[in-house]
C-alpha cells in the first residue's frame, strides 16, 4: 500500500517499492504489477477489465537479456569468481587474451558470459553471448550479441554477494544471492535468476527412433503387448495411471515391439522410456 497526494505519485511510490523488493525462489507477478503501475494509461486512470488485453507489453519482464540483463549476467559471473578466489587462485592464463567463460540458463534461454582481467586485476574485457540450446554449457558455443551492446565497464567492487560496476561513468550496484547453482541477481531495474550450467555437461543420448516417452509421471496400469509382438498404428500398448485417471499409450506406427522396459505397477517419471516400436 502506498499513499501520496496524487494517483501518479502513489503509483510511482508503489512501483518503486515493488521493483526494489527482493523475492527469491517463488514465481510472482511482481514485474507485471510494476509495469502496470508505470504505464501511462494506468497513471491516467484509463483502466478497466480490458486493460491487459489492450496493453500486452506489460507482460514483458522488467529486465531484458539485451540491457541490464547483460550486466546482471556479468555480475553473477564476477560474484562467482570472487567466491572461488576466496579458496584458491582462479583465472590464471599464460595467454592473457583468453577469457574465462561461464554458462547460465537465464530468463531468455542459455547464455555464455566471458570476462578477462589484466595483470593489475582490472576488467579488460567482457561479453554476453546467446547459446544455442543444444550447445548450452559448451565453452565457445555462444553467439555474440554485438560489441556495440557491451559498454565499457569498470569493476568498482566484486564480492561473493555484492558487485558494483561503473558503466560509462554511472555506478550500478548488484546484490547476488546464490543458492546451489542458482544466482538471484537484484539491481535497481529488477531481478534476474540465473542457473549456472556445468562446465563439462554429460552427454544426453538421443532416444531411438520409435521411442514412446511417458507424457507424465504415474504408474503403469496395464500392459497389452510383449517384446517381439507386431502392432499396427493406433493399437493400445499400455496405460498410465495418474491422479486417478487412466492415460492410454498408442502405437504411432506399425512395427514390432523392440523394447518394453516397463511392467504393470512400474512407477515412471515424465520423459521415461515406455517402449520402442521398430519398423517391421
> pLDDT tens digit string along 165-190?
998 889 999 999 999 999 999 987 78
- Whether residue 219 is predicted with pLDDT greater than 80 in this model: the reply is yes
Strand order in the sheet with 255-259: 211-213, 273-278, 255-259, 230-231
When pLDDT is averaged across residues 114-129 and rounded to a whole number, the result is 87
Cell, residue 9: 505519485
CB-based burial label for 3 (10 Å; 0-12, 13-18, 19+): exposed
What string of H, E and C letters represents the secondary structure of 71-116? HHHHHHHHHHHHHHHCCCCCCCCCCCCCCEEEEEEECCEEEEEEEE
Cα separation, 63 vs 154, in Å, equals 21
In this prediction, residue 137 carries a pLDDT of 47
Cell, residue 54: 489492450
Q: In this structure, what are the phi and psi dihedrals at residue 123, rounded to the nearest 5 degrees?
A: -70, 115
Assign a CATH topology to domain 211-278. OB fold (Dihydrolipoamide Acetyltransferase, E2P) (2.40.50)
When pLDDT is averaged across residues 103-127 and rounded to a whole number, the result is 88
Q: In this structure, what are the phi and psi dihedrals at residue 99, rounded to the nearest 5 degrees?
A: -90, 155
What is the number of other CB atoms lying within 10 angstroms of the CB of residue 119? 7
Cα separation, 276 vs 234, in Å, equals 14
The domain limits of the chain are 7-59, 68-196, 211-278
Residue, of 220 and 65, whose pLDDT is higher: 220
What is the number of other CB atoms lying within 10 angstroms of the CB of residue 130? 17
Assign a CATH topology to domain 68-196. Glycoprotein, Type 4 Pilin (3.30.700)
- Whether residue 134 is predicted with pLDDT greater than 80 in this model: the reply is no
Cα separation, 45 vs 216, in Å, equals 45
Burial pattern 19-31, b for ≥16 Cβ within 10 A else e, equals beeeeeeeeeebb
Percent of the chain with pLDDT over 90: 50
Cα separation, 139 vs 137, in Å, equals 6
Cross-strand partners of 239: 222, 248
Cross-strand partners of 230: 256
Amino acid at each position: 500500500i502506498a499513499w501520496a497526494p496524487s494517483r501518479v505519485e502513489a503509483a510511482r511510490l508503489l512501483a518503486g517499492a515493488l521493483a526494489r523488493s527482493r523475492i527469491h525462489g517463488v514465481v510472482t507477478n511482481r514485474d507485471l504489477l510494476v509495469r502496470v503501475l508505470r504505464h501511462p494509461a494506468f497513471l491516467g486512470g484509463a483502466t478497466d477489465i480490458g486493460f491487459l488485453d489492450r496493453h500486452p507489453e506489460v507482460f514483458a519482464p522488467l529486465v531484458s537479456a539485451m540491457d541490464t540483463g547483460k550486466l546482471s549476467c556479468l555480475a553473477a559471473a564476477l560474484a562467482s569468481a570472487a567466491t572461488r578466489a576466496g579458496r584458491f587462485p582462479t583465472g590464471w592464463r599464460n595467454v592473457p587474451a583468453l577469457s574465462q567463460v561461464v554458462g547460465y540458463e537465464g530468463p531468455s534461454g542459455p547464455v555464455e558470459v566471458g570476462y578477462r582481467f589484466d595483470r593489475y586485476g582490472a576488467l579488460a574485457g567482457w561479453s554476453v553471448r546467446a547459446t544455442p540450446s543444444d550447445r548450452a554449457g559448451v565453452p565457445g558455443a555462444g553467439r555474440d550479441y554485438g560489441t556495440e551492446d557491451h559498454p565499457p565497464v569498470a569493476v568498482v567492487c566484486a564480492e561473493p554477494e555484492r558487485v558494483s560496476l561503473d558503466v560509462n561513468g554511472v555506478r550500478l550496484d548488484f546484490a547476488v544471492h546464490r543458492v546451489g547453482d542458482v544466482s538471484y541477481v537484484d539491481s535497481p531495474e529488477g531481478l534476474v535468476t540465473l542457473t549456472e550450467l556445468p562446465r563439462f555437461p554429460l552427454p544426453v543420448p538421443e532416444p531411438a527412433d520409435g521411442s514412446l516417452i511417458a507424457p507424465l509421471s504415474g504408474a503403469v496400469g496395464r500392459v497389452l503387448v510383449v517384446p517381439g509382438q507386431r502392432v499396427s498404428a493406433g493399437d493400445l500398448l499400455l496405460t498410465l495411471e495418474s491422479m486417478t485417471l487412466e492415460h492410454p499409450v498408442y502405437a504411432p506406427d506399425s512395427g514390432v515391439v523392440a523394447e518394453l522396459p516397463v511392467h504393470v505397477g512400474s512407477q515412471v517419471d515424465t520423459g521415461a522410456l515406455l517402449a520402442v516400436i521398430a519398423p517391421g
